[in-house]
Amino acid sequence: MQHNTKNYDYLIVGAGPFGAIFAHEAAARGKRSLIIERRSHLGGNMHTHKENGINVHDYGAHIFHTDNKPVWDYVNQFTEFNGYINQVVANYKGDLYNLPFNMNTFYQMWGVKTPAEAQAKIAEQREAAGITRTPKNLEEQAISLIGTDIYEKLIKGYTEKQWGRKATELPSFIIRRLPTRFTFDNNYFNHRYQGVPVDGYTAIFDKMLDSDLIDVQLDTDFFDDKATYLAEFPRIVYTGMIDQFFDYKFGELEYRSVRFESEVLPTDNAQGNAVINYTDAETPYTRVMEWRHFDQKGDDNVSILTREYPQDWDRSKEAYYPVNDEKNSTLFKQYRAEAKQLDKVIMGGRLGNYQYYDMDQVFHAALVAVEKEFGQA
């Protein structure tokens, strides 16, 4: 079967942010692209849909946050953001704590009222745990940052559920993504620009791909006819799993997957917060999202809650994010070296670059790829 029926300049595999941005920018330069997407919708894991007047994030809570002003300006071409500030609550066996770690958390945990008291408590616990060297794993990094009590109650169970590994086996950088503050500030992110699109994320992709030079085929799997696609298209942007592209020739990289369970409740306010993390090891889900709190939109007397269950990945499941431990990072380097030998293929996105990107990082990486391909706009 022939696929390049319109003299396309690019085949783009995946309609997530990396692929969509590349197609949009290629069209702005007069280049024609065909996007093929295995799923039945645009937007990758950023996809949202409206239900009972509520913008539901189909793949877990997505809050756009960045200090990158060019990226913020770029995404604001396609939508308006509502200024939502993420203020997460942690539920540990029925006790509630504010996240990320700040003076509210320290007061709730220890009754301390000043930064000096909190810092002294953390130093005392760090010393008692014998953390004197540069942290070698997530557990040591966490105790070094916020002490043993907070680690045991708010980090260990949640993180081990999320990653399916012991905290002692996880790299320290994962916990460094979260702020630790000695102020009474519950803002989950430190970034200057943040929010949620007023019309949901899918509207961004609808607008981004609205061009006569862009065609989209949903429910279309690149691997059903990989050889023909590679033969027919002069340039390919690939945003799927890099190991799958090479038929797993060096072995499987590891990913984490997630499943979601949602329920509709007859109330305007079921849990009182957009996101509540369940940080004990026994609760099988990691967090519960109540979507109407993200933008205060929804029909009267209805709310939708979604529970997020991390799970091991296998080839029958959706890959959500990579496991960037030493073993997988070493394996990825083999695939990356192989990819660099390909003249016509650009690898991108979380899965193509095997990186645990935030949304702004994917946008930035896509714009860098565009500049490399076409030069400065």
Catalytic residues: 177, 181, 256, 287, 308, 356, 358
Contact 161, 286 (CB under 8 A): yes
Segments of the chain assigned E as strands = 10-13, 33-36, 48-51, 54-57, 64-66, 89-92, 95-98, 193-195, 214-217, 235-238, 255-265, 275-278, 287-290, 303-312, 321-322, 345-347
**Residue pair 112/300 in contact by the 8 Å Cβ criterion:** no
328: three-class secondary structure by DSSP: helix
CA distance 147 to 130: 11
Per DSSP, the three-state class of 204 is helix
Among 107, 64, 98, 101, residue whose Cα is nearest residue 83: 64
What are the b/e assignments for 105-117, b being 16+ CB within 10 Å? Answer: bbbebbebeeeeb
DSSP state of 267: S
Q: How far apart are CA 278 and CA 284, in angstroms?
A: 9
Provide the 8-state DSSP code for 190.
Answer: -
181 closest CA partner among 133, 145, 209: 145
Instruction: Name the helix (H) or strand (E) containing 138.
Output: helix 138-150
Q: C-alpha angle 282/288/294, rounded to 5°? A: 160
